[in-house]
């Protein structure tokens, strides 16, 4: 009896699917305006077979494509959004992998109705089943690709997407961590870096690597100026240093051992002198080259940087070291325009508050890169003006 019941259900599902195929072929044979009017007029009778087919054939894009067309008519006729979106929920919670076509259609539904559909995707990401988590990430990836960075911000989804992705950087599955990290290129660095930075000191090496990849993806997609500003702000907040304008130096030499020579030199000679002063060991806590040693340990490690040149011991020093390594990796792919805009932002922050350690560390890290040499003048513009203003009478 049980077997006969299962066979009857399967036959009913197959019949409903064949009916939907016929309806789709009929609608496809009509002009677009007539097809839309036809589907809208029959939205209510079509909805039950669409829902049944979504549950029975979770990997098939056809039921979800029809649902996307029928939803406006259903909602305009008083159907509750939660009930109208139920076929999508049934399809997402399948234990089989979603096809790319089905994921794309599901993503369009999520973008069209984020208050109802996005929480379901978030719940899917917390599923104990790896396949369901992968389905949720696949749908979220399609939604990010369709909307773009500005589209996510415009729909008010960026914060929810960020909060959904951060836990996946610690996922047990490598494929899930890699997919989640790649999606951060659709989110602003000002959002991503503060949220992901704590994972740089995770005791799990896999989480630290995924966090670095997520930061790198966001920085690459954020543009030079916005990304550089986010790095400085995140590093300052992580160190607990207050933002503000520091008192001007009493003598240009306080900025670096060669700074007094910069004040006396002309524009052509001052740029390399100032860059050498900022990137030298006399300017702060990093080692020569702009990056402190990273012991590679997690939050519980006690060795490594605590005895080093000034990265600070413990968790804060490790976070700073690893964040600056991400910055070096990001700098390696900057083009000329990106270098110029990034250096201008960091230099403006440093010379506006020369006593602030975060902007100094980022500026030294960037100037230590060989690719920064053609753009040293961007730093000189701010530094030479500051040195002249601070020169002794």
Contact assessment for residue 186 and residue 149, using Cβ atoms and an 8 Å cutoff: yes
Instruction: Please choose, from the candidates 343, 375, 381, the residue with its C-alpha nearest in 3D space to the C-alpha of residue 359.
Output: 343
Least confident of 75-84, 254-263, 310-319: 254-263
Which range in 25-29, 366-370, 371-375 is most confidently predicted, on average pLDDT?
366-370
Please state, in angstroms and rounded to a whole number, the distance separating the CA atoms of residues 287 and 284: 9
Q: Quick check: 133 pLDDT over 70?
A: yes
Position 289 pLDDT exceeds 70: no
Torsion (CA) 130, 131, 133, 135 in degrees, nearest 10: 160
Encoding tokens for residue 379?
A: 């730093």
Confidence class of residue 354 from pLDDT cuts 50, 70 and 90?
A: low
State both tokens at 47.
């909805």
Residue whose C-alpha is closest to residue 160's, from 136, 128, 176, 177: 136
Top-confidence residue, 186 or 372? 186
- Rounded CA separation 206/169 (Å): 8
Angle at 343 between CA 342 and CA 344, to 5 degrees: 90
The answer, yes or no, to whether residue 379 has pLDDT greater than 70, is yes
- Each domain of the chain, given as residue ranges in start order, spans 196-241+315-392
DSSP 28-80: HHS-HHHHHHHHHHTHHHHHHHHHHHHHH-TT-HHHHHHHHHHHHHHHHTT--
User: Which ranges in the chain belong to alpha helices (H)?
Assistant: 2-29, 32-41, 43-56, 61-76, 81-84, 86-92, 100-112, 114-125, 130-154, 158-165, 174-182, 189-196, 205-221, 224-239, 259-264, 267-279, 314-331, 336-352, 357-367, 376-390
Give the pLDDT confidence score for residue 212 in this predicted structure.
95
What integer is the mean pLDDT of 293-299?
Answer: 48
Q: Are 339 and 264 in contact (CB under 8 A)?
A: no
Half-sphere exposure for 120 (CA within 13 Å, toward CB): 25
* Predicted pLDDT at 80: 77
Give the residue carrying structure tokens 């933002």. 243
Q: What percent of the chain has pLDDT over 90?
A: 20
Structure tokens at 338: 């990106």
Q: What is the pLDDT of residue 59?
A: 60
pLDDT band at 12 (very low <50, low <70, confident <90, very high): low
Interatomic CA distance for residues 217 and 85, integer angstroms: 32
Determine the average pLDDT of the residues in 91-110: 77
Return the sign of the alpha-carbon dihedral for residues 75, 80, 82, 88.
negative
Closest by Cα among 383, 345, 366 to 249: 383
Classify 152 as helix, strand or coil.
Answer: helix
Q: Is the CB of residue 96 less than 8 Å from the CB of residue 130?
A: no
Higher pLDDT, 310 or 149: 149
Confidence check: pLDDT of 287 > 60: no
């Amino acid at each position: 009896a049980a077997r006969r019941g299962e066979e009857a259900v399967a036959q009913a599902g197959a019949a409903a699917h064949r009916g939907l195929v016929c309806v789709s072929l009929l609608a496809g044979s009509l002009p677009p305006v007539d097809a839309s009017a036809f589907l809208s007029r029959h939205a209510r009778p079509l909805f039950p077979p669409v829902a049944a087919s979504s549950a029975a054939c979770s990997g098939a894009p056809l039921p979800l494509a029809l649902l996307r067309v029928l939803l406006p008519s259903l909602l305009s006729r008083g159907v509750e959004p939660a009930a109208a979106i139920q076929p999508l929920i049934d399809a997402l919670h399948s234990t089989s992998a979603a096809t790319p076509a089905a994921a794309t259609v599901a993503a369009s539904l999520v973008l069209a109705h984020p208050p109802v559909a996005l929480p379901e995707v978030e719940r899917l990401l917390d599923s104990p089943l790896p396949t369901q988590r992968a389905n949720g990430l696949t749908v979220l990836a399609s939604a990010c690709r369709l909307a773009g960075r500005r589209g996510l911000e415009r729909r008010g989804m960026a914060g929810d997407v960020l909060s959904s992705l951060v836990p996946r950087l610690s996922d047990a599955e490598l494929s899930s961590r890699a997919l989640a990290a790649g999606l951060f290129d659709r989110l602003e660095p000002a959002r991503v870096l503060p949220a992901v930075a704590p994972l740089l000191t995770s005791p799990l090496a896999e989480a630290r690597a995924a966090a670095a990849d997520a930061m790198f993806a966001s920085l690459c997609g954020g543009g030079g100026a916005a990304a550089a500003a986010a790095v400085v702000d995140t590093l300052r907040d992580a160190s607990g240093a207050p933002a503000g304008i520091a008192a001007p130096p009493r003598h240009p030499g306080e900025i670096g051992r060669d700074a007094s020579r910069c004040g006396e030199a002309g524009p052509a000679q001052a740029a390399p002198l100032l860059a050498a002063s900022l990137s030298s060991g006399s300017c702060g806590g990093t080692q020569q080259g702009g990056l402190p040693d990273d012991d590679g340990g997690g939050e519980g490690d006690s060795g490594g940087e605590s005895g080093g040149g000034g990265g600070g011991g413990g968790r804060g020093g490790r976070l700073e070291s690893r964040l600056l390594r991400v910055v070096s990796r990001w700098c390696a792919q900057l083009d000329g325009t990106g270098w110029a805009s990034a250096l201008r932002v960091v230099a403006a922050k440093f010379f506006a508050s020369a006593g602030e350690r975060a902007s100094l560390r980022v500026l030294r890290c960037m100037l230590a890169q060989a690719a920064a040499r053609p753009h040293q003048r961007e730093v000189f513009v701010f530094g030479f003006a500051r040195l002249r203003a601070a020169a002794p009478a």
